[in-house]
Amino acid sequence: MNTLAFIPARSGSQRVPCKNIKNLCGKPLIAYTISAALKSRLCKRVVVSTDSPEIADIAKQYGAEVPFLRPESISKGNSTEMEFFTHALSWFEENEQYTPDLIVLLYPTSPLRQPQTIDRAVEEFLAHPQADSLRSVKLCSEHPYKMWRIEDGYLYPFVKDNPKNTHTLSTQLFPQIYIQNASIYITKPSTIRDKQSPTGDLIVPFVMDELESIDINTPLDFSFAELVMQKGGINAT
């Protein structure tokens, strides 16, 4: 399979300035994702999509390709996966006559994902040829049955059809709920092109554990990831 590892890394993070290249245990954050992708058996090409020349230079230093700079117009806080996928596929087609069979989306905020986990996700997706995409998920630590919304100064259940008093029950009595973890998302170019969606309709679940699911978006997340890595909870690539 012609599998592209695709790492989106825009500049302009608001909660953590320069997040994607911020130092984490001696290396820029993005370096861990580049390394994992390069060590994957099944990813044949590793490309970083960024609007930042500085991020581009660092990505190249760690072995990724940066064949283009992403337009600023699709590198904002509210920019979507669909926008940067469409831009990249169009650029590759126009400039290289290249279309991958699969796109493995790897966000740089997930530094503890392992190369073998990426390969297992690709293999799981290939085992479902009818599927449109795959999304990595983890078990929800905060169950939606325990969530509330505030209206007119009072609490109301977030899940409106909850049975009465559900919020007083033990979480073990609830159905298992999963949340996507921003670690490994796989899609086909045909899903993006024909269904105008990164996910399509048939989505394969890929369940990951808490450690590999660590997703860095705040200064506290950075501190936690650093502590886990220093304590040897998992070997960062």
Q: How many CB atoms lie within 10 A of CB 26?
A: 7
pLDDT of residue 147: 92
- Report d(CA 114, CA 211) in Å as an integer: 10
- Report d(CA 42, CA 207) in Å as an integer: 19
Q: Where are the domains of the chain?
A: 3-136+181-230, 141-176
Q: How many CB atoms lie within 10 A of CB 138?
A: 20
pLDDT of residue 7: 98
- Report d(CA 197, CA 115) in Å as an integer: 26
Burial class for 142, CB neighbours closer than 10 Å (0-12, 13-18, 19+): exposed
pLDDT of residue 77: 82
178, 205 Cβ separation under 8 angstroms: yes
* pTM assigned to the model: 0.92
- Report d(CA 43, CA 69) in Å as an integer: 21
- Report d(CA 12, CA 29) in Å as an integer: 15
pLDDT of residue 234: 58
Per-residue b or e along 97-130, where b marks 16 or more CB atoms closer than 10 Å to that residue's CB: eeebebbbbbbbbbbbbbbebbbebbebbbeeee
Residues of the chain with pLDDT under 50: none
* CATH 3.90.550.10, domain 3-136+181-230, yes or no: yes
Closest CA to 122 of 237, 204, 232: 204
pLDDT of residue 165: 82
